[in-house]
Amino acid sequence: MSTLLQELNEAVAEVAERGRRSLVEVRSRGRGVGTGAVWHADGLIVTNAHVVSRGDPRVGLPDGRVLPAKVLAWDPRLDLAALTVEATGLTAMPLGASRSLRPGQWVLALGHPWGVAGAATAGVVIGTGKEWPDAPYGGREWVAVNLPLRPGNSGGPLLDAEGRLVGITTIMAGPRLGLAVPVHLAKAFLRRTLLSPPAATQPKTAIL
C-alpha cells in the first residue's frame, strides 16, 4: 500500500473516531433505533423529528450510559428535534459551514444502521439547495450526498473532511441519493425554538 493511501486511510479513520465521541443512540417507543449528535457539552442533542416522534426517548451516550431524554423542540417539517439529557462534560461536535459545500467534496455519515453501532459511510456531495424533485417537503433546502443511508442512520451527523458537522442525515430519496438537513437550518431551528419565550433551560452558548 502506498504511503499516500496509508495516510488517507488514517485520516478518514481519525475523522470517524473523533465523530464517534459526539455520537449518540436514540431509542423511542415504537420507532426503533436512531442516531443523534451532541450539540452542547451540557446535554443538548440534535436528531430527526421522526426518530423521536414526541415519544419518551432514551439516549445512549458514547461512555455507555443510557439516560432518559426530554424533547425540547420538535419540527416535523424540518424533520429536526432537540433533546436534552441530564449529563455534563459531553464532547460537542464542531460545526461546519453547510452553505460552503460544493459538489464532489468528501463527506462521512455516522450512525447505527441495522444496529451496527458507530458505523461510518463515506461519499461525496452531489449538490445543495432546493431542487430535488423526489425529496419530501418540496421547496426546502437539503444537502444531497452520494452515499447510502439505512435504518438507524436517521438523525446522525454528516461530517466534512475536517470532521465538522455539516448536516443531519435524514432520508434516502433514490439509489445512492441520501438527503441531510443542512447544519445552518439546524442552527436556525434551535435559535427559533430554544431562544424564544418561554425561555429554554439550555444556555445560549448551546445553540449559537
* Contact in structure between 16 and 110 (CB atoms under 8 Å): yes
- Quote the CA–CA distance of 195 and 197 in Å, as a whole number: 7
| pLDDT tens by residue, 76-122 | 999 999 999 999 999 999 999 999 999 999 999 999 998 889 999 99
* Domain at 3-92, CATH class: mainly beta
Contact 36, 71 (CB under 8 A): no
Please check the confidence at residue 201 and state whether its pLDDT lies above 60.
Answer: no
Mean pLDDT of the chain: 89
- Torsion region of 195: left, alpha or beta (phi above 0 gives left; psi -120 to 50 gives alpha): alpha
Q: Which CATH class is domain 98-186?
A: mainly beta
Domain ranges of the chain: 3-92, 98-186
Mean pLDDT for 164-192 is: 94
Do the two domains 3-92 and 98-186 of this chain adopt the same fold? yes
User: pLDDT category, 203, cuts 50, 70, 90?
Assistant: very low
Q: What is the pLDDT of residues 33-48, one digit of tens each?
A: 899 999 999 999 999 9
Under 8 Å CB-to-CB from 64, ≥6 apart: which residues?
none
Could you check whether the bond before residue 197 is cis, i.e. omega within 30 degrees of 0? Answer: no
Residue with grid cell 443511508, as numbered in its chain = 149
Residue 197, CA distances (Å) to 33, 162, 166, 193 in order: 32, 35, 28, 8
Global pTM? 0.90
Which residues form the catalytic set? 50, 79, 154
